[in-house]
Amino acid sequence: MRQYGHAPAHLDEGAGVESLVFRAGPLLCALRLDEIIETMRPLETRALAGTPPFVRGITVLRGVPTPVIDVSRLLGGGTAEPERYLAVRTERGAIALATGEILGMRNVEADATGGHPALLGGGSTRLVAGVGTLGAEPLLLLQSMRAVPDEVWEAAAAAGTPS
């Protein structure tokens, strides 16, 4: 069992979970490949009233109205102009994650404990499975994005319904 203070999750060929590594504003993040449907250039996105600040709006993915989540804002890293969208599976359908540069696929080792204890009190901790490194930078290993707040789905459904 890995103890706090010892080498946290890190990138290592042949170990860990196959993940996609990307930027989210100033943050470096990774998400398991089995959660990702596809990557794409940013699509036209329309703002949605009544949603949390991390919701950029709604776009149409393969003919379906889809919420767009700003990963940088979601994790508290501020906003940045998205370079890519990641279509991700959730319990109620796909969402699009607005991200920065995609850095590629890597095997990422993560502890199930959530990494650094200081992260356990923050609002975004339910999203962070662990903290690793890529070179000298911290890497946030994201948990499943399957749980999207009901208010986001309700706003997306309302926006997708013709008036």
Within-domain flag for 1? no
Q: What mean pLDDT is predicted for residues 97-106?
A: 94
N-terminal to C-terminal alpha carbon distance within the chain: 56
Say if 144 falls within a structural domain. no
| pLDDT given at position 20 | 96
Gyration radius of the chain's alpha carbons = 16
37 belongs to a structural domain: yes
Tell me, what's the pLDDT at 158?
75
The predicted structure's pLDDT at residue 56: 93
Within-domain flag for 8: no
- Render 3-37 in DSSP notation, one character per residue: PTTS--EEB-TTSSEEEEEEEETTEEEEEEGGGEE
- Let me know if residue 58 belongs to a domain: yes
pLDDT at 71: 92
When pLDDT is averaged across residues 63-74 and rounded to a whole number, the result is: 92
Q: Which of 17-31, 110-124, 139-153 has the highest mean pLDDT?
A: 17-31
Q: What is the mean pLDDT of the chain?
A: 77
95 within a domain of the structure (yes/no): yes
76: left (phi over 0), alpha (psi -120 to 50) or beta: left
Q: Answer whether residue 128 is part of any domain.
A: yes
CB of 54 closer than 8 Å to CB of 70: yes
Share of the chain above pLDDT 90, in %: 37
Q: Alpha helices of 28-161 — where are they, by DSSP H? A: 71-74, 150-160
Share of the chain above pLDDT 70, in %: 72
Is 25 in contact with 36 (CB distance < 8 Å)? no
Instruction: Give start and end residues of each alpha helix (H) in the chain.
Output: 71-74, 150-160
Expressed as residue numbers, the domain containing 58 is: 18-133+151-160
What is this structure's pTM?
Answer: 0.77
Q: What is the CATH number of the domain that holds 67?
A: 2.40.50.180
Structural domain tally of the chain?
1
Q: Is residue 62 part of a domain?
A: yes
User: Does the pLDDT of residue 118 top 60, yes or no?
Assistant: no
